[in-house]
Amino acid sequence: MGKIYPFGYNDAAVNIMKTRTAQDNAKLFLNYAKPNMHILDVGCGPGSITIGLAQALPDCHIIGIDKEGSQLDIASEAALQHKVVNCSFEQASIFELPYENDSFDAVYGHTILMHFKEVEAALAEIRRVLKPGGYISFREVDFGSNIFYPSDSALAEVMGLFRRSFFHNDANPDLGRSLAHLLEQNGFSVKEFNISMSQATTLTQKEGMYQSMVALWQQAEFPAQAVELGWITQNQRDAIPAQLITEASQSHTLNSTCYVEVVATLT
């Protein structure tokens, strides 16, 4: 197996992304958004955040771009279903944005910069399409700061392998901690940042979250790659789903994923 996209475009991954909302996942950015902004959402995936931004900012227009056509089909269908008309979706790479210089008042991205090594090239392209004084906001994970209890739980094991897989596949799952510095080094002036822990707290929420992780474990490629690389055995891989289901019903198990959101302006 060569390099893989650990999350993938499987149903489990898409369903996890569909639960994301502008209110939760673009909270800081929404404080800075102003009427009539022309906003670009880079790496929009199935578009739940893009559509949420459009609903929260009815005077603005939001374009979501993604390199993967299947995600844009899901996003466009969802916008139609929700009758949201002030957003649109286009297939494009963050490294080659099909827009004129100074086209946007703001650029937003959620869990996108973590996926590749060439972050500086992506930021240069974003700088090009952003108007002087324009806003950018990124929210990225920091898997190295997650908290799980027990620390040898199946969930901790799964998320540890997920993190290792991102590193192995040229991504940076710990990007959150250096995000503000990275933006500063690339011509942006940091206005504000926020660190938050996403967590499932009630037993019902935990059941839903652990079931999502079982589905991801069964559908994503990273568990097979972990076996192939000798990080775990096939027996360990096969045992994980049942262990996750058991942990979901235990009231003492704790889970959390760390996110860092930064808002900056083009200086």
- Stretch near ligand SAM under the rule CB under 6 A, chosen from 106-114, 156-164, 179-187, 198-206: 106-114
Q: Whole-number minimum distance, CB 204 to ligand SAM, in Å?
A: 23
Residues from 82 through 101 that contact ligand SAM (CB under 6 A): 93-95
Q: Whole-number minimum distance, CB 257 to ligand SAM, in Å?
A: 12
Distance CA 97, CA 75 (A): 19
Cα-based distances in Å from 178 to 144, 195, 262: 12, 12, 10
Sign, CA dihedral 222-225-231-232, equals positive
244 is a site residue for ligand SAM (CB under 6 A):
no
Q: Whole-number minimum distance, CB 260 to ligand SAM, in Å?
A: 14
| Binding mask of the shown chain, residues 42 to 81, with x at each position contacting ligand SAM by CB under 6 A | -xxx---x----------------xxx--x----------
Which of 5, 1, 2, 3 minimizes the C-alpha distance to 220? 5
240 is a site residue for ligand SAM (CB under 6 A):
no
Cα-based distances in Å from 64 to 20, 37, 160, 193, 263: 15, 14, 30, 23, 18
Q: Whole-number minimum distance, CB 65 to ligand SAM, in Å?
A: 6
Distance CA 48, CA 116 (A): 22
* Binding-site ranges for ligand SAM (CB under 6 A): 7, 17, 20, 43-45, 49, 66-68, 71, 93-95, 110-112, 115
